[in-house]
Structure 1
Amino acid sequence: MSKYLFKLGRWAVNHKNRVMGGAIVTLLIVALLALIVGPAFNEEISIPNTESATAGEILEKEFSNKDEASPGAINLVFKAPKGETLESDTVNEKITELLDEVKKDKKIISVASPLELGNLSEDKTIGYAVVSFNSPPEEVSEKSKAKIIQKIAITNNAGIQTELAGNVTFSELEIGGVTEVIGVVIAFLVLAITFTSFLAAGMPILTSAIGLGIGLLLVIIGTNYFDIPSFSMSLAAMLGLAVGIDYSLFIISRFRQELAAGHNVEDAAAIANGTAGSAVLFAGVTVIIALLGLAVAQIPFLTMMGLTAAVCVLLAILVAIILVPAILGIMGHKIGPNRKNTFLKKLTSRKNKSNTWWDIVTKRPLIVTIIGIVLLLVLSTPFFHMELGLPDNGTKSEDTIERRAYDLLSEGYGPGYHASLIVLLKAEDLKNEEELLVVSKEIEKIDNVKYISPPIPSPNKKYYMLSVTPKTGPNDSSTKDLVREIRNIPNNTEISDDVSLKVTGQTAVNIDISEKLNDSLPIFATIIVLFAFILLVIVFRSILVPLKAVLGFLLSLGATLGFVVFVVQDGNLIDLFGFPTASPVLAFLPVIVIGILFGLAMDYEVFLVSRMREEYVHSGDAQKAVLVGIKDSSSVVTAAGLIMISVFTGFMLAPDPIIKSMGFALTFGIIFDAFVVRLTIVPAVMILMGKSAWYLPKSLDKIIPNIDIEGTTLIEEINKNRDKTI
Structure 2
Amino acid sequence: MCITLAALSVVGIPFLTAMVVSAAATVAVAVLIAITLLPALVGFARNRISPAGARGTARAAARRAGGEDGQHAPAGRATGAGLGERWGRFVTGRRVVVLLVAIPVLGALAWPANDLRLGMPDGSMAAPESTQRQAYELVAEGFGPGVNGPLMVAADVEGTDNPQRTVEELSGEISGLPNVAAVEPPVLDQQGATAMLTVIPATGPSSVETEDLVSDIRALGDTYAERGGTALWVTGQTAMNIDISGQLGDAMVPYLLIVVGLALVLLGVVFRSLLIPVTAAAGFLFTVGATFGAVVAVFQWGWLDWVFAVDETGPIISMMPIFLVGVLFGLAMDYQLFLGTRMREEYVHGAESNSAVVGGFRLGARVVTAAAVIMVSVFAGFIFSDEDMIKSMGFALAFGVLIDAFVVRMTIIPALMSVFGRATWWMPRLLARILPDADIEGERLTRNRSEPAPSGTPASEREEAAPVLYR
Q: TM-score, normalized by length of structure 1? A: 0.56
Report the Cα offset of residue 491 of structure 1. 3.8
Say if 2:148 is the partner of 1:434.
Answer: no
Query: SS in structure 1 opposite 2:36?
Result: helix
Q: 2:104: which partner in 1?
A: 374
Aligned residue among 23, 43, 53 for 1:329: 43
Aligned residue among 512, 515, 525 for 2:256: 525
Aligned residue among 412, 416, 424 for 1:685: 416
Report the Cα offset of residue 300 of structure 1. 2.2
Report the Cα offset of residue 678 of structure 1. 0.6
Amino acid paired to 1:481: D
Aligned residues: 427
Q: CA 1:691 to 1:419, structure 2 compared with 1: closer, same or farther past 3 Å?
A: same
CA distance in 1, matches of 2:53, 2:176: 78
Higher relative contact order (CA 8 A, sep 6+): 2
1:343-375: CA deviations, max 9, x gaps? xxxxxxxx9967654442121011111211111
Q: 2:63: which partner in 1?
A: none
Amino acid paired to 2:244: I
Aligned residue among 299, 307, 332 for 2:13: 299
Q: 1:651: which partner in 2?
A: 382
Q: 2:141: which partner in 1?
A: 411
Contact kept in structure 1, 2:3 and 2:259, CA below 8 Å: no
Report the Cα offset of residue 288 of structure 1. 0.8
What's the % identity of the aligned pairs? 42
CA distance in 2, matches of 1:550, 1:469: 46
Report the Cα offset of residue 450 of structure 1. 0.7
Q: 2:221: which partner in 1?
A: 490
Q: 1:558: which partner in 2?
A: 289
Report the Cα offset of residue 337 of structure 1. 6.5
Aligned-residue CA RMSD (Å): 2.7
Say if 2:34 is the partner of 1:320.
Answer: yes
Q: 2:370: which partner in 1?
A: 639
Aligned residue among 91, 108, 113 for 1:361: 91
Say if 2:103 is the partner of 1:389.
Answer: no
Report the Cα offset of residue 634 of structure 1. 0.4
Aligned residue among 554, 558, 568 for 2:299: 568
Q: 1:310: which partner in 2?
A: 24
Q: 1:189: which partner in 2?
A: none
CA distance in 2, matches of 1:556, 1:648: 16
Q: 1:281: which partner in 2?
A: none
CA distance in 2, matches of 1:713, 1:557: 38
Gap regions ≥5 residues in structure 2:
55-79, 449-459, 465-471
Report the Cα offset of residue 709 of structure 1. 4.1
Contact kept in structure 2, 1:397 and 1:403, CA below 8 Å: yes
CA distance in 1, matches of 2:113, 2:259: 19
Q: How does 1:155-554 map to 2 (within 5 A)?
A: 287-336=1-50, 338=52, 357-432=87-162, 433-492=164-223, 496-554=227-285
Query: SS in structure 2 opposite 1:488?
Result: helix
Q: CA 1:356 to 1:630, structure 2 compared with 1: closer, same or farther past 3 Å?
A: closer
Report the Cα offset of residue 707 of structure 1. 1.9
Q: 2:66: which partner in 1?
A: none
Query: SS in structure 1 opposite 2:349?
Result: helix
Q: CA 1:289 to 1:711, structure 2 compared with 1: closer, same or farther past 3 Å?
A: farther
Contact kept in structure 1, 2:152 and 2:196, CA below 8 Å: yes
CA distance in 1, matches of 2:23, 2:228: 46
Q: CA 1:312 to 1:678, structure 2 compared with 1: closer, same or farther past 3 Å?
A: same
Contact kept in structure 2, 1:435 and 1:495, CA below 8 Å: no
Query: SS in structure 2 opposite 1:424?
Result: strand
CA distance in 2, matches of 1:654, 1:365: 40
CA distance in 1, matches of 2:376, 2:51: 26
Report the Cα offset of residue 397 of structure 1. 1.4
CA distance in 1, matches of 2:370, 2:91: 19
Contact kept in structure 1, 2:179 and 2:210, CA below 8 Å: yes
Say if 2:396 is the partner of 1:665.
Answer: yes
Amino acid paired to 2:438: I
1:128-151: CA deviations, max 9, x gaps? xxxxxxxxxxxxxxxxxxxxxxxx
Amino acid paired to 1:536: L
Contact kept in structure 2, 1:421 and 1:469, CA below 8 Å: yes
Report the Cα offset of residue 540 of structure 1. 0.8
Gap regions ≥5 residues in structure 1:
1-286, 341-350
CA distance in 2, matches of 1:650, 1:708: 40
Report the Cα offset of residue 716 of structure 1. 11
Amino acid paired to 1:383: A
Q: CA 1:449 to 1:541, structure 2 compared with 1: closer, same or farther past 3 Å?
A: same
1:681-707: CA deviations, max 9, x gaps? 122111111111001111222221012
1:610-656: CA deviations, max 9, x gaps? 11111111105111111110111101111110001011111232223
Q: 2:454: which partner in 1?
A: none
CA distance in 1, matches of 2:81, 2:269: 40
Contact kept in structure 1, 2:110 and 2:293, CA below 8 Å: yes
Q: CA 1:421 to 1:686, structure 2 compared with 1: closer, same or farther past 3 Å?
A: same
Q: CA 1:374 to 1:574, structure 2 compared with 1: closer, same or farther past 3 Å?
A: same
Contact kept in structure 2, 1:644 and 1:667, CA below 8 Å: yes
Q: CA 1:390 to 1:339, structure 2 compared with 1: closer, same or farther past 3 Å?
A: farther
Amino acid paired to 1:403: R
Amino acid paired to 2:130: T
Contact kept in structure 2, 1:430 and 1:496, CA below 8 Å: no
CA distance in 1, matches of 2:253, 2:294: 19
Amino acid paired to 1:520: A
Q: TM-score, normalized by length of structure 2? A: 0.84
1:533-557: CA deviations, max 9, x gaps? 2221122111111111111111111
CA distance in 1, matches of 2:392, 2:48: 40
Amino acid paired to 1:414: G
CA distance in 2, matches of 1:356, 1:539: 26
Q: CA 1:557 to 1:689, structure 2 compared with 1: closer, same or farther past 3 Å?
A: same
Query: SS in structure 2 opposite 1:577?
Result: coil
Contact kept in structure 2, 1:586 and 1:658, CA below 8 Å: yes
Report the Cα offset of residue 446 of structure 1. 1.0
Report the Cα offset of residue 495 of structure 1. 8.0
Contact kept in structure 1, 2:225 and 2:231, CA below 8 Å: no
